[in-house]
Structure formats: structure tokens, C-alpha cells
Amino acid sequence: MVEWHDIVWFKNAILRHSFFLWMAVQQKLTTQDRLHRFGIHGPNRCSLCLRNNEDHNHLFFECSYTKAIWWDVCDRCDIPRMIKGWDEWIRWATVTWHGKSFINFSRKLSFAATVYHVWQERNARIFAGMSRSSNLVFNQIECIIRDKLDLMRNVLPIDENKRIQRAWRVNNIDS
């Protein structure tokens, strides 16, 4: 089993999100740099920021569009903003998000949802010519995370958990 297994595949995960995170962690999503390596030539620019070449590190970590979403997610999940790149993020999450605590669950869930929705936005821009602001994408992530966390029962009523529940505006904080 790979070391990052538990941040991708975990109890109560959203399987669609986990699948895309699994692909992203292995750098197997068909980003523009991968298409170029396969001999499929087209624009190599990131469709989100239109500034840099698209690869996994740029798309999921360095892109200014994605970074705006990540910072909102990090703020909600009490994740420090000190991480420097995609690979470092994966290593840090693998080492840090041990166990089945509510806060680790919310972080894993948020991580997978963010990767999934950034990838969906990227594809909508490329294949459908549709685009949304980073705020709208974050709002969609927020609704999904809030709904999923709202379903969690028997959450220990400790300050750390309550802080996460309040940050995501979960309704059942005291249940």
C-alpha cells in the first residue's frame, strides 16, 4: 500500500472526489504537459489563470486561481499556508492527517473536493467554454463539505471540532 493511501481512501469519503484525487496524487490526470509528452500538441497554458504552463503542480498548487480556493479551504480547516508545492503538500498531509479524528476527516474531505472541483472547472473551460470565478467554485465546495459534515453524528464536542464545524457553517454542532 502506498504511504498516501489514507488521505485518498477513507471512510465516508465522496468516491468520485477520491478517484480524482487518486489520479492527481499519481500525476496521471491528462494535464497539458502530459498531452504534450504523448505527442498531442495544443495550447500548453493553464486554462484557469492563462499565465503559466499547465502541469499538476501548477494546476493544483501554484495557479493564482486555484490558490484563492486553497486559501479559503485552508482557513476553514486550520491548515497552515506554509507548504511550497504539490509534492510537499502530499507528503505533509500524509504525515499529518493520521487517524480518524473529525478535523482530519474534514481536511481529507476538503482536499479531495478541492482537487475534484478545480479539475472540473478546468475541463469546463477547455471543453464547454464555460467559466466560473474562484469564489463560485469555492462556494460549491463549501456546500458539499458542509452537507457532508452535517451528516456526521457523534462528533466529540471539543473546541477543535466546534471550530471546524463553525468554519464550515455546519448546523448540527451540538448533536
| Amino acid type, 47 | S
pLDDT, residue 47, reads 92
Q: Return mean pLDDT, the chain.
A: 91
Is the pLDDT score of 175 beyond 60?
no
pLDDT in tens, 106-148: 999 999 999 999 999 999 999 999 999 999 999 999 999 999 9
Mutual angle of helices 102-123 and 64-77, in 10-degree steps: 160
The model's confidence at residue 85, banded by pLDDT at 50, 70 and 90, is confident
Percent of the chain with pLDDT over 90: 70
d(C-alpha 110, C-alpha 165), whole Å = 13
- Contacting residues for 143 by C-beta, under 8 A, at least 6 apart: none
pLDDT tens, residue by residue, 25-56: 998 988 776 766 767 677 778 999 999 888 88
Whole-number pLDDT of residue 118: 97
Please tell me the predicted confidence (pLDDT) of residue 84: 76
What phi and psi values does residue 171 have, to the nearest 5 degrees?
Answer: -80, -35
Please tell me whether residue 45 adopts helix, strand or coil conformation.
Answer: strand
CB 21 within 8 A of CB 112: yes
